[in-house]
Amino acid sequence: MLEIKSFNFGSFGTNTYVVSSKAQAGNGGTVLLVDPACSDQYEQQVLYNYIHSLSCEEVFIIATHGHLDHLWGAAWATEQWHTPVLMHEKDIPMAEAMQMQYNLFGIRATPQPFPIEPLNSQFTIQNSQFSILNSPFSILHTPGHTPGSICLYWPEEKTLLSGDTLFRMGYGRTDLPGGDMGQLISSLQRLFELPNDTKVYPGHGDFTTIGAEKRS
């Protein structure tokens, strides 16, 4: 079974997730750090302490998309665990243009660069599924909020990390550069084909289920 620990970080209230396997708890293994949004030293220490408590042997860092609020802690995390941020190739240019995003939101700071690689550079795909954490999962390309938005789906666990594609009683905005409402609607329709009792862990806000969002 998966163990999913959530942290709400930064001024944008972004959810960071640490996904591990209960079977591996305390015995090494692999951990997924999804959307490292920790924005100050306190949040970084909280995240570090939790991951350290898992006694993991390997950490993969995945971004559900390239927006700045999901990557506040990316430079720190990649240096801490000596691994790049993995994201869909269509969002890599956006993440590499972080200063432009800072300027767009009026943030007077210079972002630190961090290594980025496309998702398929690190994982071996078998039948469109990745197998780590002793539980196969799929990476669903769900464009609309951004061109390279993704969701992580564990069918056996009926668990979806939805990034900013799907929220509780809402969905991601499409008025930022790269947003496309038509694509987002198609992505949501694809997610609504998942089982109704699929647990949804969004990039902002509270947890929900696919069934609840189909009714909302």
Taking only the tens place, the pLDDT of each residue in 43-71 is: 999 999 999 999 988 899 999 999 999 99
The residue assigned the tokens 């209960």 is 22
User: Domain boundaries in the chain?
Assistant: 2-215
- pLDDT by residue (tens digit) across 183-194? 999 999 999 999
> Tell me, what's the pLDDT at 56?
87
Give me the mean pLDDT over the 202-210 stretch.
Answer: 98
**Residue 128: pLDDT band with limits 50, 70, 90:** very low
The whole-model pTM stands at: 0.93
DSSP 46-83: HHHHHHHHTT-SEEEEE-SS--GGG-TTHHHHHHHHT-
* DSSP state at residue 101: H
d(CA 165, CA 161): 10
Nearest-CA neighbor of 15 among 213, 216, 209, 200?
200
> Tell me, what's the pLDDT at 136?
80
Burial class, 182, CB count within 10 angstroms (exposed 0-12 / middle 13-18 / buried 19+): exposed
- Assess contact for 146 and 94: CB atoms under 8 A: yes
| pLDDT(124) > 70 | no
Give the CATH number of domain 2-215: 3.60.15.10
